[in-house]
Amino acid sequence: MESVSLIIVIAAIVLGVILFFKLLSKPIRLVLKLALNTVIGFVILWIINFFGGEVGIELSLTLINALVVGFLGIPGVLLLLALHFLL
C-alpha cells in the first residue's frame, strides 16, 4: 500500500511541476519579446543617431523614447521618426 501512495505523490508532484511551467511560459515569453523589441529598437535608434546626424535626423534616448521603442519595437522607431518630422 505504501508504494501506491508513493506513486500517487510522485505523479502529483510531476503534474504540479508541469502545470507550474505551463502557467509561467506565457509571461516569460512576453518578457523575452519585450526585451528583444527593446534591443532591436535601441540598435536602430543608435544607427539613426550615428548616421542621421549628417542629414539632420536625431532621436534622443529619453525615457519616453525608450518606453515607445520597448513596447513597439521597430514600429515604435518609425513612429518616433514620423513625430520628429511632423513636430
Asked if residue 20 has pLDDT above 80, the reply is yes
Residues 6+ apart with CB under 8 A from 37: 69, 70, 71, 72, 73, 74, 76
The structure's pTM equals: 0.62
**Segment 41-70, tens digit of pLDDT:** 778 888 888 888 788 888 887 778 877 887
Taken in order 54, 59, 62, 68, the sign of the CA dihedral is negative
Cα dist. 37→3, 20, 34, 69, 84 in Å?
51, 26, 5, 7, 21
What's the rounded mean pLDDT across residues 4-25? 85
Asked if residue 76 has pLDDT above 80, the reply is yes
Q: How many CB atoms lie within 10 A of CB 68?
A: 18
